[in-house]
Structure 1
């Protein structure tokens, strides 16, 4: 072999190795999260795991909930009027730290000449977001557990959360073969950069479309109303959940039967409530503000920025690495509301398609220690 040929061969080999180092090489760890032999393992890549955000400390110690109420001390307090003025001031300082741009501070929501004024849309939105936070921390405790959420969970110091979505513009030429991608075949991080449809959020995170595509029978039935055509869109949604939480499929599902609830981990039930929480949040607390948001806070079709799993989780199985901020912000716990009850899962009333009661008991497989005993 000539010197030139050897040089080219070496260069190609070296180049291939360099390219491969950016793929799946490197150390991996495997954690068992279910019973042995059940296919419930997690493959972890330490080099690509998202790190928990640097959570800011409270602006100052939480004051006692005593003294005059906020409604007695200030004008036009519509949502937090029953909170003491001291606790009210503490929350306002925290929200300024979590959401407002540093250059604006309190003025991001308030007219400094008239704090009672509602002339700024951000103040109206903030009221609705506080109610939304209460709803999540109470009605959807089945999902957020005792950790709860605060404004910082989604905003993380930004006036607008980094991860959001809006309705997509339809293909300009849907009747043509060329150029009509039908919301897929594009490099979209929402579906793990796969060729799957990436605009299923409207169907699943706003409209209550069924997610299940597997049927109990090969024949049509009244209990199975989802077409097999929805498989791609459903799988795109699952890719979104996986990317948002930084986990693989077996974090929730058992590979022996992805459909069966009785073989799944408790985390699948948690995700079940989470999807409904996202729908409720988008429908009741965000879309209802469509007329309030200015055009620059909306998508191309005029709908406001909405939330999905990535909005809170941001690549972590537990938002903020599982750290709770509720103790420093007790006002955001919200008034007591009945939690979501255990209900049949989508797809029909079949026995293996119901959320087992065991998923809501201490005996559930909720951690590695219990699962491996």
Structure 2
């Protein structure tokens, strides 16, 4: 009898111990390792802080390393337009500069495919491949960004690598969403809500917050500047679109809301961090690039490169940032490639050296 009790007691003890270990494991499973670091940017208790996990930050850092730069051969010698045929954008460069940029672009965009990704070899001047037509326009877009959108990119600038990262198609692009209404049109269009999408961090928010703001010019706000009924024409639905865009921006930059907003008043510009102004220009830059450069290429792209509604790929914050608050961790991409400025600005920059 004593042996039975002892055996039962031992078994119960082991079960209690196992259960305790299981519960402890479940508790610890909800904790992050290593302990996240908090970087405070406002008064204590205001929630003005950025939270970073060193393990996750290391991965983002590794993914945002800039590529090696081929040294410039200088501007001496004949111009590319004098030596090569059908050079429509970069003909003002020396042959050495032109070839360096072409080799760099190959490594930035199509390292596996090589020159043949854009060119109908051996006829380099042939424009029959859509990729060459698009690439030429993308060079012009890059010059436009570096020259005309410095309120957002500053002197850091961009190159093809900023978006492409060695891939022919950037891994962060978007198409118009094919929203499905509820069971019948009687219920109206649910605007992509309750269709979990990584675009909005798998939330129930509208899964295409880009069309209204990065293609259209809708107001990005949650409430109007005046009270009802005379001035506040903002709706809950518009607020949900805004939350969707803000969720995307937070994820794309790897930051939380207080990177751009002050918790005392998210709406008040006077007390907002300077990053909010930079983001304001970034939204308008993305809209400009989508409307001026991407949408006009709709007929150039083949069907397999378009979205479900027949539109071309477009850019959002993640296209450049890819999880870093500054693309490529703030590496100064444009300084080594003045040819990716508009020609007049590039000439002035070279003359100033």
TM over 0.5: yes
Matched, 1:78 2:88: yes
Equivalent position of 2:107 in the other structure:
97
* Gap change, CA 1:148 and 1:13, over 3 Å in 2: farther
The residue that corresponds to 2:127 in the other structure is 118
Residue aligning to 2:270: 262
The alignment status of 1:88 with 2:95, answered yes or no, reads: no
TM-score norm. by structure 1 comes to 0.82
Structure 2 length normalisation: TM-score?
A: 0.87
Q: Which runs of 5+ in 2 are unaligned?
A: 1-7, 346-353
SS in 2 for 1:327: helix
Displacement after TM superposition at 1:135 (Å): 1.2
TM-superposed deviation, 1:81: 1.6
Please provide the CA RMSD for this pair: 2.5
With CA pairs under 8 Å and 6+ residues apart, which has the higher RCO, 1 or 2? 1
Residue 230 of structure 1, aligned match among 232, 238, 244: 238
Q: Larger C-alpha radius of gyration, 1 or 2?
A: 2
**Contact map agreement 1:138 1:336 (CA 8 A) in 2:** no
Please name the residue that 2:52 is paired with. Answer: 44
Q: Does residue 152 of structure 1 match 2:169? A: no
Residues 162-215 of structure 1 deviation map (CA, whole Å, 9 limit, x = unaligned): 111101112155527999753122332221222211211111111111111222
SS state of the match for residue 101, structure 2? Answer: helix
Task: Point out the structure with the larger helix share.
Answer: 2
Q: Distance in 1 between matches of 2:213 and 2:133?
A: 27
Q: Where do 1:46-65 residues align within 5 Å?
A: 46-49=54-57, 50-52=60-62, 53-58=64-69, 60-65=70-75
Query: 1:35: how far off?
Result: 6.0
The verdict on how the C-alpha distance between 1:18 and 1:73 changes in structure 2, with shifts beyond 3 A counting, is: farther
Question: Which residue of structure 2 lines up, in the alignment, with residue 203 of structure 1?
Answer: 212
Q: Show the 5 A alignment for 1:140-289.
A: 140-171=149-180, 173=182, 175=184, 182-222=191-231, 224-289=232-297
Measure the CA separation in 1 of the matches of 2:344 and 2:151: 14
What stretches of structure 1 of length at least 5 have no aligned partner?
338-373
Q: How far off its partner does 1:221 sit?
A: 3.7
Measure the CA separation in 2 of the matches of 1:258 and 1:290.
37
Aligned pairs, how many?
334
Match of 1:361 in 2: none
1-structure distance, mates of 2:84, 2:298: 28
CA contact (8 A) 1:148 1:333 kept: no
Residue 5 of structure 2 is matched in structure 1 by: none
Structure 1 residues 59-97: Cα deviation after superposition (integer angstroms, max 9, x where no partner): x31111222111111111111122222211111000000
> Residue 4 of structure 2 aligns with which residue?
none
Q: Is 169-178 or 66-75 further displaced after alignment?
A: 169-178
Contact kept in structure 2, 1:162 and 1:311, CA below 8 Å: yes
- Is 1:25 the counterpart of 2:36? The answer is no
